[in-house]
Amino acid sequence: MENNKLIVGLDIGTTKICAIIGRKNEFGKLEVLGMGKAVSDGVIRGIVTNIDKTVNAIQKAMQDASDMADVDIGEVIVGIAGQHIRSTIHHGVIIRQPNQDEITVEDVRRLSNDMENIVVPPGNTIIHVMPQDYIVDYEDGIKDPVGMSGSRLEADFHIITAQTTAINNINRCVKRANLISQDLILEPLASSLSVLSEQDKEAGVCLVDIGGGTTDIAIFYDNIIRHTAVIPLGGNIITADIKEGCMVLHHQAELLKTKFGKAIAEEANPNEIVSIPGLRNRQPKEISIKNLAAIIQARMEEIIEYVQNELVASGHYKKLTGGIVLTGGGSQLQGVSQLFEYMTGLDTRIGYPNEHLGKSKIEEVKSPMYATSVGLVLAGFKSLDERENLYRLRKESGNTNTQKIQAKPVKTEFGPNIFSSIGKKLKDIITNDIHDDNNY
């Protein structure tokens, strides 16, 4: 039963590695049983740069989650991000046999599988093939072609690729941690499962996941993923700016950002000062909150400009009724949603991963920081594309096309077949008349 099925999500991030164990409760909500996290020293901007450090962090996070849930972990669903991620649109076509009646789930699968074999740039691997709208016999704008009649089936596909070496390094880390990678999922797609509702995706929404090393973007419209992108800037670059601008240590810069940071300098009090302990035998350092906010705002504006460029490139900038949903650790910066609204002109809110969460003893998991981790667990229970769930249910219920095909001949007696039967009768009458004339 699905209630007894346990799914483990493993988020290998730039600042932290997080593992979450979950299952569905009797109400269909996700119940988090265990959670573990560790500092991520071996990952830079979503790419594994030190195998040993990453393996140690994975083992620590998994051990903590395993102890909390009191279960042994074997398989995990892993998230992938990084500036090497690329998304493109490709067109696919299959021609069906004329004697085939209706488009089946197998036809749709065959079209998708064909796209798995397209040529991608050397050193890259396809990780997701996501259909957009379908075209049946040149009739476009079709979301679900299954059950329709037609001989030519086409679709535009959103193809997401990642660097092969980056994938191999992630898989190597997971394997060396004595785990099996059940699936590899793009992190913004995982985050979308945990913070976006079906109404958001239908209205049109841009998810912006501000992580430590990268800012991930996923744009939805009409319940279909339309565009994805990864920007190689995140919370860590803001910390580095504070470290340089205020001339403090890295951990002090991180504390300044999280405790006193504001994304809008105008809202900061010019008279507010924070005192930072100095180095050995040196005086404490005084930092102006307004200056701190100015440093943060400058870098955050750059990130927002990148996001806006992706919005324009997607072609859906003016269609996003749902606006922008911010998640990830960077979304907790004070005033960041207002800055996004000022610069993009779109309604902005913070996305919390409690859309599908049930009652949990771990309240920390409801923070935007863990949106990706929760989404990876949800990905084990539901597909990234809702149509996949529908196709699976059709197969499980045995709702094949044979039942529909049997009903067809009854209708065709009053369709084209009636003309062929009339033609046959006319032919018989003419033949008989000729025969009678010859006898005469």
Burial of 382 (0-12, 13-18, 19+ CB in 10 A): middle
Model pLDDT, residue 3: 53
Three-state DSSP at 249 gives coil
Instruction: Give the pLDDT score at 237.
Output: 94
Compute the distance between CA of residue 362 and CA of residue 420 in angstroms, rounded to an integer: 71
Record the tokens describing residue 41, joined without a space.
Answer: 């020293």
The pLDDT value recorded for residue 265 is: 93
In angstroms, what CA-CA distances link 75 with 6, 183, 208?
10, 9, 28
User: Is-contact 207 351, C-beta < 8 A?
Assistant: yes
Task: Give the residue from 38, 44, 8 showing the smallest Cα distance to 23.
Answer: 8
10-19 residue pLDDT tens: 999 989 999 9
pLDDT, position 398:
60
What is the C-alpha to C-alpha distance for residues 269 and 250, in angstroms, rounded to an integer?
24
Position 428 scores a pLDDT of 55
Residues of the chain with pLDDT under 70: 1-4, 395-440
Closest CA to 292 of 322, 309, 312, 272: 272
**The predicted structure's pLDDT at residue 352:** 93
Question: What pLDDT is recorded for position 5?
Answer: 84
Q: And the tokens for 188?
A: 């913004």
Give me the pLDDT at residue 408, please.
32
